[in-house]
Structures are given as structure tokens and as C-alpha cells.
Structure 1
Amino acid sequence: MKNLNRRNFIKKTSLSAAAISAAGLLPTSVNAFTQRPIASQYMGGFKAAPLENIRIAVIGVGARGPGHLKFAANLDGTEIVAICDLYEDLVLKWSEEAKNIGKGERHQNIRQYYGEENKWKEMLREVKPDMVFIATNWANHAPMAIEAMKQGAHAFVEVPLALTLTDLWEIVDTSEKMQKHCMMMENVNYGRDELLYLNMCRKGVIGELLHGEAAYIHDLRFQMEEVERGTGSWRTYHYAQRNGNLYPTHGLGPVAQYMNLGRQEDSFKSLVSYSSPAKGRAFYAKNNFPENHKWNQLDYKGGDINTAIIKTIVGRTILVQWDETSPRPYSRLNLIQGTQGTLAGFPTRVALENGFEDLSEDHHKWIEGENMERIYEKYDHPLYKRLSATTNKSGHGGMDGMMIYRIIECLHKGEPLDQNVYGGCFWSAVSPLSESSVKQDGMPHAFPDFTRGKWKDTDPLGIIS
């Protein structure tokens, strides 16, 4: 939605950084929000009233928003009622596209909002949608989600959920007070391999879980070509002004679900984090833009690769890495290690202590490549089996469509979402905690308990069929 200029970005993030730093320096402050506000209700396992027809608004139709809009519009029992973006051409384009999606006349009365920074607030007040997709720049995620819930809508937010611990707490408090879902849309949790490993972990195939490895290794320097409009126009300032793990949830979300973190079995305890020197972005700017270009006037502070270690309440460890700058192949690592074996990604492979059928005798040989088909045949997640044919043409190999399908299905039936508000907050909290840890030379930082102790009573995520 918003193209942050450098002055506004520094103003906003400097205030956030001060709040983050204070939270890290004072161990008790991260759990200062110990009392649930009056008339608020814990949202773990929350079931909203079923919605027969879901009135959907979309804020942000640049990069991610159109995919969510198109897939949701194709599902029965949905109606696109409003679209908002800073740019008129995008709103007009996707309003017209939506009218031609789905059966009958469901998406013909779409309200259009564009041109001013706060048009989304006007949209929420006037349209009163049942749910809102929020696919804007990171800085707008929290305020838009909070206001959407205050206006009576369920909020579904692109990653990360928020940039500061203070905003994450406000999201929790607003969700609990308004009794509205606020789900961070972590699509990777719906990937075939991630669902496969979740199913295998639940079945005890690799024994007790000990360690995980999660990452977002993705060279995105090309986005700096989006100078005035698009992701690079605002994301580049984050690379320049922030130093930590800016995008942890794609790798961490699945591993956290394998371990049932924040759900009865275990939860997040603490984090340490270090960053490498910041070299790649400045080098790219120097070699691809004129000397006087604004990208060459920035002092890039964000290390090219950040490495964090998370410790859980029961003593498990998770390696979390982030690198959107280095020239290396894409990876999310996606490793989960147990007492009886290891499941790993990139490439997908399995090692089991007692072997698997006739493919391996023990854990000294990976099951991989064509042999993985036997693993899929036995352990494919039932959700993947049910929905893959419907969702496989959607974004990111079908995971986007499966996520949207499940959101709509849960709202129709009045069932708990697969990802609750607390999961999104725990996973997103890695960013501000890592930034503060890096600033303090790897000082350990405690995670806030966004559940206020209720994670112990929250049912584990089941194997949904």
C-alpha cells in the first residue's frame, strides 16, 4: 500500500527500535502484559460463528493480494465486496477481474478505494466486511489488522504479522477483546513436504523431537530495481536500517508446528542472534545504479546473513537463518531431528534409524530422489490428499490455494483456524528479538508469552483430514 520514503521510514523505525531495545534490556518487560484485559477471551482454539456467505475485502493488490483475491473469489460462499490500494490502476484492474470470477453475480458490487494513504480505514468503516486480506508493506500490517478487528472483521495478514513486540501485544489484546481471528498467512505450512513431515512427526516416526533448522535463503537483490513502486521501493529501506532476521516465518512456522510450540507440549523460551557484515546490498547498488542514485546514498546496516538459535521451554533448539542478499540457491532448510531419525529439505530426504522397508537399512543412508515416492505414498498428509487437486494451480506449488481454502472452510464451518493469533506473534517476534540481540552482541533475549501461560492448555494442532 505505502511507499515509505527514507525520512518517514527512519522516523517510524527509530521509534520502534527504541522500544525493541528497551524490551530486550529489561527481561521482565517482554512479559509485562501478564493480565488479560477485562472482557477478553483467550483465542487458542477459538471458534467464530459460522458464516454462510463471507464478505471479503482486500487491502493491497500489488504482489500477494491478487492471488488471495482470485482463489477466494472462486470458492463457493464468498463475495468480494471491496478492494483498496494506493494505486487507482490496480484497484480498477482487480475489481474488473473479480467480476469475471466464480459463479453467477457474486462479485458485481465491489466498492473501490484508492488514492489516499488512509482510504483503507474509510473502507472498513463503510463496508464492514466479514474478513479482510491484508497484503501491504510490513509497516502497515499491524495497524491494519488491529483496525480491521476493531471494525468487526477477521484479519488475515501477510508475513510478518508486525515489526515490534508492542504491536504484537496490541494485536493479541485486540483479537482477544473483539473475539476476531487474526491469522498471519504463513503459506509454507501448507507445502506438501511440510505437511508430510508434520504427519510423520505426529505419528512418532522420528521419535522424540530434539532440534530443528529453519531458514529463508532467497536472493532478492533484483527487487532493488523496483525503485518507485513495488516491493523493492519500501523493502530496501528495511535492509538499510535494520540488522537482524527480517523474515523468519517461512522457515520457522513449519518447524514450530512440528514441535507443537505454543500448544500444550512446548513453547518458545529465548533467542540469541548474530549477523554477518553488511556488504551485498551496497555492492549491488554500486554496480547497478548511478553513483548519485538514492540506493547509493543509503548506509546499509543489515548483515547479509543472520543466524539465530532459539531455545524452547523443554530444551529443544532451532537454528534460524535469513539471507536475501547472497548469491546462493534458495533454501528453507526445513530440518527436524528426533531420537529415531531426521527429516530434511532442500533436497527433500529422510533418514530413519531402523531404515524404511527395502529402501534403507538404517540412518546412514538418505532416502531421497525417486525413492521419496514411497514415503509420500505412506505418509502424505490427508489434507494434501484431499485438496491438492483443487489447489495445485495456485501460487507456490499449491500451498497458497490450500491456505486460502482452509481459511474459508474454517469460517464457513465455524471451526478453529489451523494457525491462531499466538503462533503468528511468536514466529514474528523473532525479528525484533534478533535485532536487539545483534545490537547487544548476541545477548540472549526472552520471548514474550503471548498466551499468558495458556499455551499449556491449548490443544496441539491435529492432523486435519
Structure 2
Amino acid sequence: MSPHFSNRREFLRQSLLGAGLVATGLAGCAAPGARRPAAGAPAAAGTAPARARFNMCGYAAPRLDRVRIGFIGLGMRGPAAVDRMSRIEGVEIAALCDQYPDRVAKVQQTLARRGLPPARAYSDSKDAWRRLCADPAIDLVYICTPWSLHTPMAVGAMEQGKHAAVEVPAARTLEECWQLVETSERTRRHCMMLENCCYDFFELLTLNLARHGWFGEILHGEGAYLHDLRELNFGRDAYAEMWRLKENQHRNGNLYPTHGLGPICQVMGINRGDRMDYLTSMSTADFQMADIVEGLAAKDPFFAEYRGRTYRGNMNTTTIRTHRGRTIMLQHDVTSPRPYSRIHLVSGTKGIARKWPLPARAAQGHQWLDEAGMKQLEAEFTPEIVRHIGELARQVGGHGGMDFIMDWRLIDCLRNGLPLDQDVYDAALWSVIAPLSEQSVAHRSDSVDVPDFTNGWWQTNAPVELTLKGAGTTGVRRV
């Protein structure tokens, strides 16, 4: 049995001891390269005893005939989420919250067009979300706010007895990741990170291929977020209060790992038969962001406050090794002028698949399958959930339909009292890559241990299976 950490205090203390930082008084610094204690070793002096824990992987909360949702954040992502959810049977749009009242009013109009009653509005202050979380007539809080608010809001929702669905990343720091895990376990409320890319059509196909052994033994995966966001990150009317540009100041690492990582983790059974062991990370210098700010500030005084800052490097590459000896490569670049890509490569002892550059392709030899071969593969291995809801999802939309599949699946699981495909351990693990990559970059790419948020349950947790056994009963209102 592999050694593991039972709580965040043990992980943090052992990491700091391993790097010699406690003794030197640098306990607030990163601890790259720290190793875990041997299996069965006694706890370090002063380590808090492990508390009783509850496994949220495979947990089925009591079924909800009707899912009453409160939405927080109605900027870029929230309005589309409300629109999608308003089409799903058994959903009540119960409450809307944003610090800007005009955003709430605009989404109320969407509900009116759908013939739905207005939702309760929370928009009189930046703290209005706390009252939404306390609303007794809400079952699920759907969070689409800036990253720094994700964990406080998800924790606040669970503390008030609500399930939480939170946009990516679910957390920004190691401490926040543990907060999510410990709150979900204690309250027995779901905390699902809304990683929509796990529900994209090719990603679902590769998951099903893996479940049927098409890849053989999976040995390597690659994911990325390569997306030119210069117009949005530097747009005065894009992200409220320029929050996303501010995230790129003084944070040098893979700040947005989950889109590429989530599907690879599901294919590999990470947290469900395998776990991440350690990572290393390296970033290029910043070749663009500081220069862009200088050019903008010369024309517009608004950007003067962003001058003289240290911005993250253009490209970050992070590599991860798992307990079973597999490897994962992740990349992040949102400033270079290049075509969009999440890569999504799965490589095994019998076959390989890669989504980008398009067209998506697969092979079990020296040559990629041709168009006819790919159609035959899809005909044989398209998963049940796509056959059931995929065509409707394409009509509704949301990044080609994956957003709708994600939302429909979440509601269908809650209404049928089934475990979710993504649990709080996935939310924490996929999110923690950002702060751990920052630690590694800051220490010349030294390796950094990845905590085991599952408390060792990864060894027995069942893999994700997107079947409709006991599910698939939720209908859809008119499109």
C-alpha cells in the first residue's frame, strides 16, 4: 500500500520538514522536492491526529425530484448556464446573484422569454452571495465568478447545506483545495468543479475506448490550454475589474490546468486506481504581457497601474508522474498567437488518440485511421450518454454541446440520487496543479509532491463510467 497523507496539516508539515524550511524559519515558502514518510512511519511531533473522514467518491446524496438552483455570477459564463439549465426538466431557477443589478435584470428577461417565473434577486452588494447561500429554498449553488471567489462561495454553499457546482479552477491555493475537501466530507454535500471538457464528444469517446481496452495499458497523456486571450485579458470591458489580468501578475505557472487535465485523469483512472505522485514545471520568460501593458499605458492612463509588474511566462510546461508510473504533460499559453488547442492525447501499449490539431484522429499502428476508419470507431465506441443526449446538446450549444451534456448529467444524477462523475477530490486535485506548478517554477523546476486528497481511497474507488444505469430519466424542455 502506498503511503498517503490523511489531512492537509500532515502534508504541509512533512513537505516543510523535507525541505528543511521549518528549521530555518521559512515555513511560509514553497517546499519542492519534499518526500513522503515511509509507510507506517509515526506521525511527526506536533502533527494533528487524523480525523475521521468520509469518502465522497461514489457518494450518492438523497435524490431530488426538483433541483432548485441559485446562480452566483452573471458575467461571461453565468447567463449561458442559466439559459441551459432553464431547458432541463426538473430544474427551478430559484435565485440570481451578481454585484451588478443590471446583469440580474438581463437574465430575468431570459427566464421571461422561456415562460418561467422571475427568480429571487440578490444584487445589492458584493456580499449578497452569502444571503443566497443561506436561502433555504435552494438545493444547488452554481458559481460563475472570478477565481478568487470560487472556494469561499463553494464552502459557503456547502456549510449552508447546499451542493456546490463551481467553475474552473475550483481553488487557487493548496489550503483552499483542502478546505473544499474537508467541507464536502463533513457536510456530505457534493462539490463538483464544472469541468465541461470532460463532456466534449471526442474526450468521451476516448474515455469509452479506454474502458474497453482499446488503448491497452495507458502509459502517457497530454493536455493543454493554448488559447490566445490577449483581447480579453487586456480588454477594459471584458473581465470585471480586470480580475483575470491581475491573476497573471506575480503568478508564474500553469494557472488554468483543468481543461486539458480533467479528461486525461478520467481516462487514466486518477483518484480511482491510480494517483499523482509528483510534478515538475518550467515556464518561459514573459515575452509579451509586460510589453503589451507598456503599449496600452502609453495611450490610455487606465493601464498605468499595471506597468512595472512581473507577469507569468508565455508558455508553461508541467509534467506529472503517477504512482503506477504513467506520465502526463500539461501546457498553458494564453498570449501567443497560435490556434486553439487542448491537445488531448492518450497513448497506450496498443493505440493512441489525439484531438488537436484537427481533425481528431486515432491509430493502432504506424498510420492514423482514415476518415472511414474514424467513423467506424465512433460508430462502435460512442458512449451511451452521447447517443442519449448528444444530438440535443449540439442543438442547445455551449462550446459545441459539451456544456449542456455536463449540466444535464449533473441534474440527472441529483434527481436520481446517483454519484457524480466529478467529485470534490477531482476538483481539488485538478486545481492544485496551479499552485504546485508555481512552487516548482520558483525553485528551478524542482519536483513537488502532489497530495493525496482521497486519503488512500484512490486504491479502491470505482472508475468513472458514463452509463445510464439508473439514470437518463431527465427530460428537456423545448429547445
Name the amino acid aligned to 2:451.
P
Residue aligning to 1:130: 139
Distance 1:290 1:370 in 2: 55
CA contact (8 A) 2:33 2:449 kept: no
Distance 1:101 1:35 in 2: 53
Alignment of 1:55-454 (within 5 A): 55-101=68-114, 107-227=116-236, 230=239, 233-263=242-272, 265-290=273-298, 292=301, 293-294=303-304, 296-346=306-356, 347=358, 348-352=360-364, 363-369=365-371, 371-392=373-394, 393-454=396-457
Distance 2:227 2:199 in 1: 19
Distance 2:289 2:158 in 1: 37
Instruction: Report Cα offsets for 1:322-343 as digits up to 9, x if no partner.
Output: 0011111111110011011111
User: How far 1:431 moved relative to its partner?
Assistant: 0.2
Name the amino acid aligned to 1:216.
Y
Tell me the number of residue pairs that the alignment of Structure 1 and Structure 2 aligns: 431
Instruction: Report Cα offsets for 1:134-166 as digits up to 9, x if no partner.
Output: 000000000000000001100000000100011
Instruction: Report Cα offsets for 1:244-268 as digits up to 9, x if no partner.
Output: 00000000000111100000x2111
CA contact (8 A) 2:397 2:404 kept: yes
Go from structure 1 to structure 2 and tell me whether the alpha carbon gap of 1:42 and 1:304 turns closer, same or farther (over 3 Å shift).
same
User: How far 1:172 moved relative to its partner?
Assistant: 0.4
CA contact (8 A) 1:216 1:323 kept: yes
Distance 2:370 2:129 in 1: 48
Distance 1:257 1:288 in 2: 42
CA contact (8 A) 2:193 2:422 kept: yes
Residue aligning to 1:7: none
CA contact (8 A) 2:34 2:448 kept: no
Distance 2:50 2:152 in 1: 20
User: How far 1:117 moved relative to its partner?
Assistant: 1.4
Instruction: Report Cα offsets for 1:418-459 as digits up to 9, x if no partner.
Output: 111101111111000000000001010011110111111211
User: How far 1:301 moved relative to its partner?
Assistant: 2.6
User: How far 1:319 moved relative to its partner?
Assistant: 0.6
CA contact (8 A) 2:67 2:92 kept: yes
Which sections of structure 2, spanning at least 5 residues, go unmatched? Answer: 1-25, 38-42, 469-479
Distance 1:432 1:280 in 2: 22
Distance 2:51 2:100 in 1: 38
Go from structure 1 to structure 2 and tell me whether the alpha carbon gap of 1:414 and 1:19 turns closer, same or farther (over 3 Å shift).
farther
CA contact (8 A) 1:241 1:300 kept: yes
CA contact (8 A) 2:73 2:98 kept: yes
CA contact (8 A) 2:234 2:245 kept: no
Instruction: Report Cα offsets for 1:106-156 as digits up to 9, x if no partner.
Output: x42511111311110022223441001000000000000000000110000
User: How far 1:201 moved relative to its partner?
Assistant: 0.9
CA contact (8 A) 1:81 1:127 kept: no
The DSSP-based 3-state class of the residue aligned with 1:272 is strand
Q: Which moved more, 1:221-230 or 1:288-297?
A: 288-297
CA contact (8 A) 2:33 2:446 kept: no
Distance 1:414 1:19 in 2: 44
User: How far 1:239 moved relative to its partner?
Assistant: 1.2
User: How far 1:35 moved relative to its partner?
Assistant: 5.9
Distance 2:362 2:446 in 1: 35
Instruction: Report Cα offsets for 1:214-256 as digits up to 9, x if no partner.
Output: 1110010011343266268110011122000000000000011
The DSSP-based 3-state class of the residue aligned with 1:273 is strand
Distance 2:197 2:287 in 1: 29
CA contact (8 A) 1:226 1:232 kept: no
CA contact (8 A) 1:59 1:85 kept: yes
Alignment of 1:27-66 (within 5 A): 27=35, 37-38=51-52, 40-66=53-79
The DSSP-based 3-state class of the residue aligned with 1:290 is helix
Go from structure 1 to structure 2 and tell me whether the alpha carbon gap of 1:37 and 1:68 turns closer, same or farther (over 3 Å shift).
farther
Q: Which moved more, 1:226-235 or 1:328-337?
A: 226-235
Distance 2:57 2:429 in 1: 13
Distance 2:189 2:405 in 1: 22
CA contact (8 A) 1:278 1:303 kept: yes
After superposition, the CA RMSD in angstroms is 2.2
Instruction: Report Cα offsets for 1:373-411 as digits up to 9, x if no partner.
Output: 222112112211111122113210100000000000000
Name the amino acid aligned to 1:337.
S
Q: Which moved more, 1:367-376 or 1:82-91?
A: 367-376
Go from structure 1 to structure 2 and tell me whether the alpha carbon gap of 1:432 and 1:19 turns closer, same or farther (over 3 Å shift).
farther
Distance 2:172 2:59 in 1: 25
Go from structure 1 to structure 2 and tell me whether the alpha carbon gap of 1:27 and 1:212 turns closer, same or farther (over 3 Å shift).
same
The DSSP-based 3-state class of the residue aligned with 1:378 is helix
Distance 2:35 2:123 in 1: 43
Which sections of structure 1, spanning at least 5 residues, go unmatched? Answer: 1-17, 353-362
